[in-house]
Structure 1
Amino acid sequence: MGEDIKKLLAGGVSGCCAKTCIAPLDRTKILLQAKNPYYKDFGVFSCMREICRREGIVSLWKGNTMMMIRIFPYSAIQFYSFEKYLGFFNKVFGNNQLNKGLAGSCAGVSSVLATYPLDMVRARLAFQITGEHRYNGIYSAFSQIFRHEGGIVAFYRGISPTVAGMIPYAGSSWLVYKTLEEITSSMMPTKTDENNVQLLVIKMTTSFLSGGVAGAISQTASYPLDVARRRMQLANVLPNSHHYKGMWSTLSAVYRHDGIVKGLYRGLSINYIRVIPQQAIAYTTFKAMKEILDLN
């Protein structure tokens, strides 16, 4: 297996592991962000309990098959392209910390552009309530969106806030993670046969903690744009959909109707609970996959 294929595989597996672990939180976040009429008055954990009561525990993973189809190429492209972009920027600008943020932003935007239609369909499927399905599956969602909402263009509704949000999100996430990784790596003992296992455990633990910190910082920086993205993606199944046609009109409408805390940052608490372990698991799994595939 070629090195490039191994890197893509490592990135894809990392994303799938992370997303499967936090899928229940992911669906709850979508329902709260878009103010689903059945769950809009609940908090994070009370919403999850209500989902289980109303739809069954398995419904917490609703849309996860679509997520796996999307997240494997998304994560593979992001992890792989980050290293390529970083190498390019280091050659152009010389080695400096800001290159990590710049490479992270470029990698994030590349992965979003390549997989955005899959994210659109996944959001529509996750937003559905059991017993009131508008789409009967992945093919049904693709077909109906294409036929009734404007063709290919419909699959990119919400792309502007997504790309705008990905720049600070991925940039800050990679910058913080790689900086912390360098700091912790410089403090580790030299590898010997006797401490191989101990050193691996330390590396995985520090990677997990670094990924968590990176996730918290990056999410805070980009969250209002994530809210705007979801409202635009779900515009056709939400009331007052005419407010959610463009990025600025969506942000304005959310702020005007719900304010900052209950609007632009609605659901941020669940996003911390969701993104911190997601980023921690993704970065740690990627590091572990690189060890397994002998990519270090």
Structure 2
Amino acid sequence: MSTFRGPSLDDTVNDNNEDTDDGTNRATLSDAAQSTVHDIFTSLDKNHDGKLQVPEIKGALAELGLPRSRAYLHDIIKQYDADGDGSIDWQEFRRYVEKKEKIVQRTFSKLDVDNSGYIDADELTKALRKLWMSVSAEDSQHMIDMLDVNHDNRISIDEFRRFVYLLPESLMTPTNIVYALVDSSDWIQGVELRLCMTPPKQPFQRLIAGGVAGMVSRASVAPFERMRTMYMVRQADGRSLSMGGCAQKIYKEGGMSALFKGNFATMVKVAPQTAIQFAVYDTITDAMYSSLSRVEQASGIPQSRQLSKWQHLLAGCAAGAAATVVTYPLETLRTHMAVGGQSYRQCLSDVVKAHGHRGLYNGFLSGLMSSTVSNGLGFASYETGLSMFRQLNEGVTPGPAERGIIAGGAAVTVMAAIQPLEVCCRRMQVQGREGFPVKYNSVWHCAYQVVKEEGIASFWHGSMCSFMKVAPSIAAVRFVYELLVQEWGINGLRRYRANDTESQASDPPWA
């Protein structure tokens, strides 16, 4: 899968996937290269027992300014350790580096501007400027010094290999390797200024990942979405139906295809909505992390690398509000289609005829409040769930599947809290069309009338349908998004630096 390509050293986004697990297309190491790789393995194997153990790996990571957290060590060992014994033997090491040899050579050649077989500080500065990274000659020299084992003031491909072999597989693309090198050089000096630097193309990758994740998840739960909308709005005119009754009525109207009525509008709306939510949220949290780094640098006082729940809540609210402002008219059309519209064009015509163009924003305040609150609470509760997971699993960061489950659980809690706003939003959107007379003057009037006529419990009637739709939908969104983020190496080393609650000096449970 390709993505928008900003300034990059990569030939393709999928550099790290060009080699298959069975070894197809892997590079064949020459005898000299294999000898060099074996020398690297031997230099890492401090006790000479033929296996790389956790303490030995941590020592090498410390020398190269790379993270030593449980999450990082877990990912490094996992990519090498074929037999699952918690250590890396020579054959496991060789098999993995053979798979990645083409990437190592390609990245090195892009940095070796004069094709001399070595990288010096000037060449490194030129390569970094291609990535819109303004670094001084001193910065480049620090990177050279970090990898320069034989102290000849330049980097050979063998010295470069030692660094790359200790990166997680998700970062094995030329651009990500270079950003990791810059990050590690700062880190080993205790500067940490570029903790939050990510390649310029990554905001666009986040947009694409969010859009794809949203469309996949919503397509899978479209029938529940239509049942949920029908249930909410039918209560408004006294024609209340059970969830089963809603499903039966929808099916009688048009068979199985009727369960997906309005789904095209949902897909058109969800792709930008989810993309905007994730992109805005990640951008704001990036800025917050960057601010922490600047404060630490200016004051000399160590700052927490964890954002507070209130900061996550604020970022989530902003993400929800931004997405709603952009996509609300599509949400209005989707709701009209779900309750009986014949076509999107006809729904648009009916809304404009009845209310003018402002009709596309009927119930906007309720929708904005619902989206802002639900996104804020959703992101904050999701981050809380991640923290709990790390505490229960010795600091190991959850994978995409676990993150999806955590997000689904958080979504159920949030959905229960914002259900009244959802009901008001739906009823405000459809009033004025045939069968749904205008009854409400505002969101507050709608809420008051619902409580007065139907009781406060009516806000949660049919909530099981909502939960059946929302939990798997949000879980799928988060799973697909995190899978793409992991696959593309988005956030680089920052996700190991900023999100790990454990001290880098602590040992993982398998040590």
Q: TM-score, normalised by structure 1?
A: 0.86
Residue number among 265, 269, 294 corresponding to 2:464 in the alignment? 269
One-letter code aligned to 2:423: V
Residue 274 to residue 113, structure 1, CA distance change in 2 (3 Å): same
* Match of residue 247 from structure 2: 48
Q: Could you tell me how far apart the structure 1 residues matched to 2:238 and 2:269 are?
A: 26
Shift of 1:215: 0.5
| Structure 1 pair 4–183 and aligned structure 2 pair: CA distance change class (3 A) | same
SS in 2 for 1:34: helix
Tell me which residue corresponds to 1:80. 279
| Distance in structure 2 (CA, Å) of the matches to 1:105 and 1:207 | 20
Q: 1:57 to 1:139 in 2, by over 3 A?
A: same
1:149 is paired with a residue whose SS is helix
Aligned pair 1:139/2:345, yes or no?
yes
**Are residue 68 (structure 1) and residue 267 (structure 2) matched?**
yes
- 5+ residue gaps, structure 1: 129-134, 192-198
Contact 1:120–1:156, Cα closer than 8 Å, also in 2: yes
Secondary structure at the residue paired with 1:243? coil
Q: Which residue of 2 aligns with 1:151?
A: 356
Match of 1:175 in 2: 380
AA paired with 1:213? G
Matched, 1:164 2:369: yes
Q: In the superposition, relative to structure 1, how do residues 287 and 240 fare at CA in structure 2: closer, same or farther (>3 Å)?
A: closer
Which residue of structure 2 lines up, in the alignment, with residue 131 of structure 1?
A: none
Q: Describe the SS at the equivalent of 1:141.
A: helix
Shift of the alpha carbon at 1:216?
0.9
User: Is 1:293 matched up with 2:488?
Assistant: yes
Matching residue within 180, 192, 203 for 2:399: 203
- The equivalent position to 1:252 in structure 2, one of 419, 429, 448, is 448
Contact 1:181 1:206 in 2 (8 A): no
Give the one of 404, 410, 414 matched to 1:218: 414
- Structure 1 residues 212-269: Cα deviation after superposition (integer angstroms, max 9, x where no partner): 111011111111011000000001126563322310111111111111222x223212
Identical positions, percent = 22
Going by fraction, where is helix more abundant, 1 or 2? 1
Cα distance in 1 between the residues matched to 2:453 and 2:235: 16
Q: Which has the larger radius of gyration?
A: 2
Alpha-carbon distance in 1 for matches of 2:367, 2:357: 17
CA distance, structure 1, for counterparts of residue 239 and residue 219 of structure 2: 24
* 1:116 and 2:328 are equivalent in the alignment: yes
Counterpart code for 1:10: A
Distance 1:189 1:88 in 2: 28
Residue 234 of structure 2 aligns to a residue whose secondary structure is coil
What is the aligned length? 279
Of 205, 212, 216 in structure 2, the residue corresponding to residue 13 of structure 1 is 212
How far apart in 2 are the matches of 1:41 and 1:113?
31
CA RMSD between the two structures: 2.5
Q: 1:60: Cα distance to partner?
A: 0.3
2:47 counterpart residue number: none
1:241 aligns with 2:440: no
Shift of 1:183: 3.3
Deviations along 1:7-33, whole A, 9 cap, x unmatched? 100001111111111110000011110
Most deviating of 240-249 and 264-273: 240-249
* Residues 10-58 of structure 1, C-alpha deviations (whole Å, 9 max, x = no match): 0011111111111100000111100179994432234223422342011
**Which amino acid is 2:278 matched to?**
F
Deviations 1:97-122 (A, max 9, x none): 21111111110011011100000001
> Could you tell me how far 1:167 is from its partner in structure 2?
2.7
5+ long unaligned stretches in structure 2 = 6-200, 296-303, 492-511
- CA–CA distance in structure 1, aligned partners of residues 217 and 431 of structure 2: 28
Q: Normalized against structure 2, the TM-score is what?
A: 0.51
SS at match of 1:237: coil
**Mapped contact 1:101–1:175 kept (Cα < 8 A):** yes
Query: How many angstroms does 1:62 deviate by?
Result: 0.2
Counterpart Cα distance in 1 of 2:387 and 2:324:
27
| TM-aligned CA distance change 1:261 to 1:37, over 3 Å | closer
Does the C-alpha gap of structure 1 residues 204 and 37 become closer, same or farther in structure 2, counting only changes over 3 Å?
Answer: same
